[in-house]
Homo-oligomer: A and B are copies of this chain.
Amino acid sequence: MTALQSREFSLPVRVYIEDTDAGGIVYYVNYLKYFERARTEYMRSLGYDKPAFPGDDLMFVVSEANVSYQSPARLDESITVTARITNTGAATLTFAQTVLRGATCLVNGQVTLALVNSEDGRPRRLPATLRQKVADS
């Protein structure tokens, strides 16, 4: 088994009032929602209609998230959220993610997903087809 990397996937996102807080900027917690939308659409682009459930009894859960905040996004801005797989384990996918205003990085992070059995929560090996799709992307 070799570690796989993917291309970088980009998703345009509009900042709505629901995303902001009393500081007038995007509530820092909500960037994690943006990150997930980009991961989800990347998986959908690989052919997964239900990206969080990539097979019978299979479910992705987040096992770790690390986020670094440089500069805030603001109401009504049009921003870009990226997702790129930088590492794979037997049962895990690690994404490098960014939130960009044009070429400026506002937020970056790393999120690791673990594939588990949706019944008992135990780790499950990434299916070969999924690994192949990631490698081809």
Query: Interface stretch among A32-40, A86-94, A98-106, A127-135?
Result: A32-40
State the A residues within 8 Å of B (CB).
14, 16-18, 20-25, 27-30, 32-33, 36-37, 40-41, 44, 49-52, 59, 61-69, 72, 75-76
Q: Is the CB of A32 within 8 A of B32?
A: yes
CB < 8 Å neighbour of A68 from B27, B40, B41, B63: B63
A57 to B48, CA, bound (A): 31
Pick from B27, B33, B63, B69: contact of A64, CB under 8 Å? B69
Q: What residues on B are CB-neighbors of A23 within 8 Å?
A: 17, 52, 59, 61
- Apart from A49-B76, A61-B72, A65-B67: 19 A-B pairs, beta carbons within 8 A: A14-B41, A17-B21, A20-B21, A20-B22, A21-B22, A22-B22, A22-B25, A22-B52, A23-B61, A28-B32, A28-B61, A28-B65, A29-B29, A29-B33, A44-B76, A51-B76, A64-B69, A66-B66, A66-B67
